Structure 1
Amino acid sequence: MELGAGSFGKVMLASLTKTTKHVALKIIKKKDNPYDQKRIKAEAQTLKITGECPFLCKGLAAFQSQLHAYLVMECESKTSLWDLIHSKEKLGMETVIFFSAELVVGLQFLHSRGIVHRDLKPDNILISKDGHIKIVDFGLVAEDVSKGMKLKAVVGNFKYRAPELFMRDPYDAGVDWWAFGIILCLMATGQLPFDDLSGMNYLAYLVTSTKPRYEKGLSRDARRLLNELLEKDPEKRLGTTGDIRSHPFFRSIKWAELESLKVPSPFKPEGFSPEDLKATYTGPLPFLEDPKSEVPPDDPMVLQEFSYVNSSW
């Protein structure tokens, strides 16, 4: 079963031998250029630490053949935040606050490790079988971003781009907080705060020059939080500065319990159906049949393998 596809390759639902567990297998065709080499290594390195935060998709292994890189990740559900919003049009405020708080924890963990996601969007946020969010797809991450360091590459879905990206200004982790604000608005209202129907150029004008627009009935705390996240000056944007956890919008959240997964989710998705599992990818993996699968020791694309992080796998 194909879980996703793009210019990078594809993600398949796969099964591990001698177990009933299922995983997501990301297959990336290697290209002979420094940018792609760096991107694959950055994604693999990020997956090594994801097991330290419950709101990131856990990496299990990384390996390669001469032609492909393979990333193995946990996979409990095929339901994304986008799927949920699309099916319900907008979410109840209890669910919005809960998922938003878990996203805050996930983003703060990444940023504390010098990682900027750069492609945060509802499609890249899965909901586990227990109803907790899992940030996925680290294919566009920037690593080793220390305080005061700025990035330049313009990447990510344009609907979630911060003003500094449209203006091609140097940027930092503030772009993730802007994207988080767009996602929060979409969860709460079913609509984006800037009209994207007229194309990227007009959206760029709206994002850089106009105020966000919200649906009537949005609470004062939600409006205030959105305005602080969708601040055009990244130096003043909440998340980049200030204490987002103490915002009145999150007054009901007990952060220690949330991080320990002791707060039950208001929503739990359906698991994989028998039909889904029948379509599970079982291999053999291409690298096992590839006669050129031996990787020269000096190959610049060698990925450092890492063991399964959970002995039950």
Structure 2
Amino acid sequence: VEVLGNSWRMSVMGDRKAVLKEIPEVVRNPQNGKQFAKGKFLGKGGFARCYELMDTETRIVYAGKIVSKTLLVKKHQREKMTQEIQIHRMLSHPHVVRLDGFFEDADNVYVLLELCSRRSLMELHKRRRAVTEPEARYFTNHVVLACIYLHDKKIIHRDLKLGNLFLNDDMEVKIGDFGLATMVEFDGERKKTLCGTPNYIAPEMLGKKGHSYEVDIWAIGCILYTLLVGKPPFETLSLKETYQKIKENDYIIPSRISADARHLIERLLAADPSARPNIHEVAQFDFFTKGYLPSRLPTSCLTMAPKFQPSQLVQLERRVVDGARARNALSPRQQARQDMLAAPLRALTTVPETQAVSMKRAPEERNDPACGDVPSDCYLSELYAQISELLTKKASDRPVVQEDEAEDPAAVPVFWVSKWVDYSDKYGLGYQLCDNSVGVVFNDNTKLVLDAAGEQVQYTERDNSEQYYTISVYPKELTKKMTLLAYFRNYMNEHLQKTGANMAVREGDELARLPCLRTWFRTRSAIVLHMSNGTLQINFFQDHTKLIVCPLICAATYIDPERNFHVYRFDLIDKFGCPRDVFSRLKYARTMIERLLSQSGNTNIRPGSLSTADARIGKYNTPSHRASINSPS
């Protein structure tokens, strides 16, 4: 079966340096007449640009991988894409990105892929660096399941890496990008092509001795190591040195890594490919069979480590339910939730403080991130250095190339503040995040966050220690603050733009740790919001634009007056420049970070600590004067 047609080949041969044409707003499949509306730009890589493509009839949205035919002139380029489609189209597995179709027109080849809206493990890695062991087990388990399927079909992926492991809304891993994949034609065949990504490439491939399924096993070892340790095992500043370390099997597993994880990594990264387990054997290692494997992870783990006390929460809730069955046919959980939503000033079910679920975890498994812990300033110093370096290079003085080159939508923030209500003259600042979760920073510098489903509660003390409760289970001492949280939540839903109905409870929500608003203040021109995950958000009052900067993924998101998102990675700003309005806001952000850092002796900066010339806090007596919608939902 020929995947790509031949009709266009001669027309592009004479124009090898043709400028890439703009993708039309509506793409038509000449074979069947189906039409697809071009949506958001998703990113680029290799030869392809990726956009959302919506079937105008079914309204189904795909990730459209679009390759210009001017880039497929050479025979090997065409054969490579043909092989990629031929292999990918025959696959159907829960942990493999689905290929739903492909077609071509006069200018481009279009591949319709399953949309994985949570991007890839690469973005998660940049934000989190090291993840917890249950998370690493969860993600790697999905990769192993997919590779069992691929290897059983005699397919070697040959480019397994964090950037090719995509995440859907259910936080399921999907292996994608089969551009380097190959079929094993007969038992014992050794492939000779040198291919892959430097940090993940196996030693036998570098030695050009021939390779097979074992290169995928090696790559899984690199992936697991990177997730647990926070960086690839052989990463160096130079390609030559990295290859040398791979050839010498020169890597170190930190002592904090558990024995089961260490044993698996050592087997996966065996220098001799014959000493590595096959993919079926990998699945039977103690790391997968004996450790805690979450059935689902919350989307909050894209930026925040989860909490792993599901059994404690269940037991605690049972005690409360058994002791308080009463008011009517509704269960205590249902009644409490109904009360919270309908009558926020009524006191809710409480339990003694001693029954709280705290951050302290059982010692038998390393569920804490292997991180070199979050710095006390929540990455402000790092962010200041990054922005300062950009500003010294005067990025706005360079002409900006086309938007696709200068922007990287994959770096869009996971969380931002979408609404806020300033009632700090009495209680504090209430806010809503983009996922509809709600929080309050109280005037005593404690914080409460309620998840979008209205079930899970997170309380942060002044010393930044965290306690976890449910909407129906919390200590009596928090009754007033829970009531105020409910008040803020209802106020924002009633008086500010609606951002959608309450989300349904989903599996994994009980593990969620949401970022909370760490510090905030207002100036004459903006409100500055610093989140506990390191994200800094500045909302400008005059033109309603917003700037969100993240030191971990090294990117700035600019939300223009029309509420369009423009995401600029710092390295792309350095390379291609950026619009002047973005540059001027980055300068303002640096000044605001200086102000935050100047308060380093007090990491919980109170609004009142600013000069009266700048601060506009407590000026009004009603919260309606100080309410805002900060970004589109």
1:74 aligns with 2:114: yes
Q: 2:177 aligns with which of 133, 137, 152?
A: 137
Seen in structure 2, the aligned counterparts of structure 1 residues 196 and 239 have a Cα distance that, compared at 3 Å, is farther
Specify the alignment match of 2:53 in structure 1. 14
Q: Which has the higher contact order (CA 8 A, sep 6+)?
A: 1
Specify the alignment match of 1:311 in structure 2. none
User: Which letter maps to 1:237?
Assistant: R
User: Which letter maps to 2:288?
Assistant: F
What CA distance in whole angstroms lies between the structure 2 residues aligned with 1:127 and 1:97? 15
Q: Report if aligned partners of 2:116, 2:166 keep a CA contact under 8 Å in 1.
A: no
What CA distance in whole angstroms lies between the structure 2 residues aligned with 1:173 and 1:4? 30
Q: Report if aligned partners of 1:229, 1:239 keep a CA contact under 8 Å in 2.
A: no
Seen in structure 2, the aligned counterparts of structure 1 residues 121 and 145 have a Cα distance that, compared at 3 Å, is farther
What CA distance in whole angstroms lies between the structure 2 residues aligned with 1:278 and 1:116? 40
Q: Give the total of aligned pairs.
A: 268
User: Which letter maps to 1:265?
Assistant: R
Identity percentage over the alignment?
Answer: 26
Matches within 5 A, 1:183-262: 183-197=223-237, 199-239=238-278, 243-252=281-290
Specify the alignment match of 1:302 in structure 2. none
Seen in structure 2, the aligned counterparts of structure 1 residues 78 and 2 have a Cα distance that, compared at 3 Å, is farther
Q: Report if aligned partners of 2:121, 2:165 keep a CA contact under 8 Å in 1.
A: yes
Q: 1:40 aligns with which of 61, 81, 86?
A: 81
1:111 aligns with 2:142: no
What CA distance in whole angstroms lies between the structure 2 residues aligned with 1:142 and 1:67? 27
Q: 2:213 aligns with which of 166, 173, 192?
A: 173
Per-residue displacement from partner, 1:153-176 (whole Å, max 9, x unpaired)?
A: 111211110001221221112111
User: Which structure is higher in strand share?
Assistant: 2
Per-residue displacement from partner, 1:38-75 (whole Å, max 9, x unpaired)?
A: 2112221222233x210000010011234422110110
* Structural RMSD (CA): 2.6
What CA distance in whole angstroms lies between the structure 2 residues aligned with 1:167 and 1:145? 22
Seen in structure 2, the aligned counterparts of structure 1 residues 15 and 99 have a Cα distance that, compared at 3 Å, is same
Matches within 5 A, 1:148-159: 148-159=188-199
User: Which letter maps to 1:37?
Assistant: R
2:182 is paired with a residue whose SS is coil
Task: Report the CA distance between 1:19 and its aligned residue.
Answer: 3.7
Per-residue displacement from partner, 1:215-266 (whole Å, max 9, x unpaired)?
A: 22100110110000001111111236x7111111111489xxx9xxxx7322
Seen in structure 2, the aligned counterparts of structure 1 residues 125 and 160 have a Cα distance that, compared at 3 Å, is same
Per-residue displacement from partner, 1:174-227 (whole Å, max 9, x unpaired)?
A: 111111111110111102212322x11111111111332122210011011000
What CA distance in whole angstroms lies between the structure 1 residues aligned with 2:98 and 2:151? 17
Q: Report if aligned partners of 1:94, 1:266 keep a CA contact under 8 Å in 2.
A: no
Specify the alignment match of 2:356 in structure 1. none
1:96 aligns with 2:127: no
Specify the alignment match of 1:125 in structure 2. 165
1:266 aligns with 2:297: yes
What CA distance in whole angstroms lies between the structure 2 residues aligned with 1:66 and 1:146? 38
Per-residue displacement from partner, 1:241-297 (whole Å, max 9, x unpaired)?
A: x7111111111489xxx9xxxx7322326699998x978xxxxxxxxxxxxxxxxxx
Seen in structure 2, the aligned counterparts of structure 1 residues 37 and 195 have a Cα distance that, compared at 3 Å, is closer
Task: Report the CA distance between 1:145 and its aligned residue.
Answer: 4.2
Seen in structure 2, the aligned counterparts of structure 1 residues 68 and 226 have a Cα distance that, compared at 3 Å, is same
Which structure's CA Rg is the greater one? 2
Specify the alignment match of 1:295 in structure 2. none
2:127 is paired with a residue whose SS is helix
Task: Report the CA distance between 1:81 and its aligned residue.
Answer: 0.4
1:211 is paired with a residue whose SS is coil
State the TM-score, normalizing by the size of structure 2: 0.40
What CA distance in whole angstroms lies between the structure 1 residues aligned with 2:236 and 2:188? 31
1:55 aligns with 2:95: yes
What CA distance in whole angstroms lies between the structure 2 residues aligned with 1:267 and 1:185? 22
2:231 is paired with a residue whose SS is coil
Seen in structure 2, the aligned counterparts of structure 1 residues 253 and 45 have a Cα distance that, compared at 3 Å, is farther
